Amino acid sequence: MIEKEIPITSFDVFPNSTVKPSSLLRYMQQAAREDCDSMGCTYPFMREQNTVFVLTRLGLKLFRPVTDREVLTLKTYNNSINGLFFDREYEFYSNGEKVAHCSSFWVLIRFDTRRLVRPKDFPVQFESLGLPADVIDIPRSFDSEGVEFTEDRLVRVSDLDENNHLNNCIYADICTDALSHFDGLSQTIEEMKIIFRHEARLGDILSLSLKTDGTEAVIFAENDTTEEPCFEATFRFRDIDA
């Protein structure tokens, strides 16, 4: 487990000063890396093993709006390993109040072939804390009935990470940008769930389809370049004055 302070800054928030999910995802990504580093499983070590972690599912809940200038305490830990899947949990606190929780599920893959690696075959054995966490339930798929095409999104070089694919934090921004009714003023995002189907790479074109009633939304993305599903997501919104 690792615990660190996270100051929410001016570039982490929407125009209404509430935090962007993608900002929290970036802090989570770095905290997870530091936690793995503390176990001797650094990114360079993993690349020497021709192995990397990739995210398969993620669920984030904000129990109240988190705003600019708050200083959060972030805790993250590998909670369990179930078959191929690593369950990593994240908890955010503000002055002792739990303000957000995230459940994420990862697998190990070979960097060159993208084939799955069993945890028992990896040279570092990860500690599973088995804490009574509020694990967020994420279904195997979301209901796509009624979704309609909204826009195409090109994967750009600034979207990429060290794994040479679309970074998981960027998915939240892609979804937010596709929500035509959401302007970051009257509403904030209360819950987000993403299922990652197939990675996207530089130059890929993602075709986004959307269904929303203004308080909830579902988004599907097809990779037109590879002709594979890329991701699907759901969002729930909160009126900023509620």
- The pTM assigned to this predicted structure is 0.95
- 3-class SS shares of the chain: helix, strand, coil, % to 5: 20, 45, 40
Alpha-carbon gap, residue 214 to 235, rounded angstroms = 10
Alpha-carbon gap, residue 153 to 71, rounded angstroms = 33
Q: What is the pLDDT along the chain (242 residues), one digit of tens a residue?
A: 999 999 999 999 999 999 999 999 999 999 999 999 998 899 999 999 999 999 999 999 999 999 999 999 999 999 999 999 999 999 999 999 999 999 999 999 999 999 999 999 999 888 888 888 888 999 999 999 999 999 999 999 999 999 999 999 999 999 999 998 899 999 999 999 999 999 999 999 999 999 999 899 999 999 999 999 999 999 999 998 75
The structural domains of the chain, ordered by start, are 1-138 (3.10.129.10), 141-242 (3.10.129.10)
At 149, is the secondary structure helix, strand, or coil? strand
CA nearest to 181, candidates 215, 151, 220: 215
Other Cβ atoms closer than 10 A to 222: 20
Tokens coding 156? 């750009």
**Angle CA 200–225–118, to nearest 5:** 40
* N residues, the chain: 242
